[in-house]
Amino acid sequence: MDTEYASVITVEALVEGHEILLALDTAASQTVLDLNVLMILGYSASNLGKPFAIETANGMMPVQMAKVKSLSSLGITRAEFDVLTYDFFEKGLVSDQDGLIGLDFFKNTILTIDFQKQFIVVKQ
Protein backbone atom coordinates (compact mmCIF):
# COMPACT_ATOMS: atom_id res chain seq x y z
CA MET A 1 0.00 0.00 0.00
CA ASP A 2 1.33 3.42 -0.91
CA THR A 3 -0.52 6.66 -0.38
CA GLU A 4 2.23 8.89 -1.74
CA TYR A 5 -0.05 10.33 -4.35
CA ALA A 6 -2.38 12.22 -2.06
CA SER A 7 -5.58 10.21 -1.76
CA VAL A 8 -4.59 7.59 -4.33
CA ILE A 9 -3.82 4.22 -2.81
CA THR A 10 -1.51 2.35 -5.13
CA VAL A 11 -1.24 -1.43 -4.95
CA GLU A 12 0.87 -3.94 -6.80
CA ALA A 13 -0.94 -6.40 -9.03
CA LEU A 14 -0.15 -9.21 -11.42
CA VAL A 15 -2.16 -9.51 -14.59
CA GLU A 16 -1.39 -12.78 -16.34
CA GLY A 17 2.02 -12.70 -14.69
CA HIS A 18 2.91 -9.14 -15.69
CA GLU A 19 3.49 -6.73 -12.82
CA ILE A 20 1.42 -3.56 -12.82
CA LEU A 21 0.34 -0.84 -10.40
CA LEU A 22 -3.32 -0.15 -9.78
CA ALA A 23 -5.12 2.57 -7.90
CA LEU A 24 -7.46 1.16 -5.28
CA ASP A 25 -10.75 2.92 -5.87
CA THR A 26 -13.57 2.06 -3.51
CA ALA A 27 -15.85 4.32 -5.56
CA ALA A 28 -15.39 2.19 -8.66
CA SER A 29 -17.76 -0.68 -9.17
CA GLN A 30 -15.56 -2.30 -11.79
CA THR A 31 -11.86 -2.83 -12.31
CA VAL A 32 -10.31 -0.90 -15.18
CA LEU A 33 -7.08 -1.58 -17.02
CA ASP A 34 -5.29 0.57 -19.53
CA LEU A 35 -5.69 -0.92 -23.01
CA ASN A 36 -1.93 -0.64 -23.42
CA VAL A 37 -1.46 -3.14 -20.61
CA LEU A 38 -3.73 -5.60 -22.38
CA MET A 39 -1.80 -5.01 -25.59
CA ILE A 40 1.39 -5.92 -23.74
CA LEU A 41 -0.33 -9.20 -22.91
CA GLY A 42 -1.22 -9.79 -26.54
CA TYR A 43 -4.80 -8.51 -26.62
CA SER A 44 -5.98 -6.18 -29.34
CA ALA A 45 -8.97 -3.88 -29.52
CA SER A 46 -10.55 -6.13 -32.13
CA ASN A 47 -10.73 -9.18 -29.89
CA LEU A 48 -12.30 -7.35 -26.98
CA GLY A 49 -15.98 -6.82 -26.35
CA LYS A 50 -18.26 -4.37 -28.10
CA PRO A 51 -17.57 -0.74 -27.08
CA PHE A 52 -20.01 1.03 -24.80
CA ALA A 53 -19.95 4.35 -22.97
CA ILE A 54 -19.22 5.04 -19.35
CA GLU A 55 -18.96 8.20 -17.36
CA THR A 56 -15.66 8.58 -15.58
CA ALA A 57 -13.98 11.28 -13.56
CA ASN A 58 -12.32 12.24 -16.83
CA GLY A 59 -15.58 12.52 -18.76
CA MET A 60 -17.31 10.18 -21.14
CA MET A 61 -15.26 7.19 -22.20
CA PRO A 62 -15.90 4.49 -24.76
CA VAL A 63 -14.76 1.30 -23.09
CA GLN A 64 -14.59 -2.37 -23.91
CA MET A 65 -14.87 -5.44 -21.75
CA ALA A 66 -12.01 -7.87 -21.55
CA LYS A 67 -11.67 -11.15 -19.71
CA VAL A 68 -8.15 -11.57 -18.34
CA LYS A 69 -6.91 -15.03 -17.50
CA SER A 70 -5.81 -13.95 -14.04
CA LEU A 71 -5.53 -10.86 -11.90
CA SER A 72 -3.83 -10.98 -8.52
CA SER A 73 -3.42 -8.35 -5.86
CA LEU A 74 -3.35 -8.13 -2.08
CA GLY A 75 -3.24 -11.89 -1.79
CA ILE A 76 -6.30 -12.51 -3.93
CA THR A 77 -6.30 -14.07 -7.38
CA ARG A 78 -9.26 -13.81 -9.69
CA ALA A 79 -9.34 -16.14 -12.68
CA GLU A 80 -11.16 -15.33 -15.92
CA PHE A 81 -11.86 -11.91 -14.52
CA ASP A 82 -13.83 -9.26 -16.42
CA VAL A 83 -12.23 -5.84 -16.60
CA LEU A 84 -13.14 -2.67 -18.41
CA THR A 85 -10.50 -1.21 -20.65
CA TYR A 86 -9.87 1.94 -22.61
CA ASP A 87 -6.81 3.60 -24.04
CA PHE A 88 -5.48 5.85 -21.29
CA PHE A 89 -2.87 7.34 -23.58
CA GLU A 90 -5.37 8.19 -26.28
CA LYS A 91 -7.44 10.00 -23.66
CA GLY A 92 -4.43 11.99 -22.50
CA LEU A 93 -4.20 10.06 -19.27
CA VAL A 94 -0.61 9.34 -18.35
CA SER A 95 -0.06 7.97 -14.90
CA ASP A 96 2.12 5.64 -12.89
CA GLN A 97 -0.97 3.52 -12.37
CA ASP A 98 -2.06 1.13 -15.09
CA GLY A 99 -5.66 1.19 -14.05
CA LEU A 100 -7.77 0.89 -10.97
CA ILE A 101 -8.90 -1.98 -8.89
CA GLY A 102 -12.58 -1.71 -8.13
CA LEU A 103 -15.08 -3.25 -5.80
CA ASP A 104 -15.78 -6.19 -8.11
CA PHE A 105 -12.32 -7.52 -7.32
CA PHE A 106 -13.16 -7.59 -3.61
CA LYS A 107 -16.51 -9.31 -3.98
CA ASN A 108 -17.19 -11.72 -1.08
CA THR A 109 -14.22 -10.45 0.91
CA ILE A 110 -13.75 -8.21 3.92
CA LEU A 111 -11.60 -5.25 2.91
CA THR A 112 -10.02 -3.21 5.67
CA ILE A 113 -7.95 -0.11 4.94
CA ASP A 114 -6.00 1.16 7.92
CA PHE A 115 -4.85 4.67 7.04
CA GLN A 116 -3.13 5.16 10.37
CA LYS A 117 -0.91 2.09 10.09
CA GLN A 118 -0.76 2.23 6.30
CA PHE A 119 -1.89 -1.25 5.50
CA ILE A 120 -4.71 -3.10 3.79
CA VAL A 121 -6.16 -6.40 4.98
CA VAL A 122 -8.32 -8.55 2.75
CA LYS A 123 -10.05 -11.56 4.25
CA GLN A 124 -11.87 -14.10 2.16
Partner 1 sequence: MSTTVAVRFNTDDPNKIEPLLDFVKSLDAVSSVEIASQASDEKVEMPNHAATEGFQSIAEIKRLYPNEWVLLAQTQRDGITILGGIVLLHEPSKRGMALKSYELIKKHEHTSHFYTGELPKHATIGLMRRIK
The residues binding partner 1 (CB under 8 A) are 2, 4-6, 8, 10-12, 17-21, 23, 25, 27-30, 32, 34, 36-37, 39-42, 52-58, 60, 84, 88-89, 93-97, 99-100, 102
Least distance to partner 1, CB of residue 31, Å: 9
Between 78 and 88, whose beta carbon lies closer to partner 1?
Answer: 88
| Residue 118 Rama label (left phi>0; alpha psi -120 to 50; beta) | left
Least distance to partner 1, CB of residue 64, Å: 12
Between 65 and 76, whose beta carbon lies closer to partner 1?
Answer: 65
> CA 16, CA 89: separation in Å to the nearest integer?
21
Collapse the DSSP code of 86 into the 3-class scheme (helix H, G, I; strand E, B; otherwise coil) and give the result: strand
Torsion of CA 53, 69, 78, 75, to 10 degrees: -120
> CA 31, CA 7: separation in Å to the nearest integer?
18
Between 93 and 122, whose beta carbon lies closer to partner 1?
Answer: 93
Between 6 and 110, whose beta carbon lies closer to partner 1?
Answer: 6
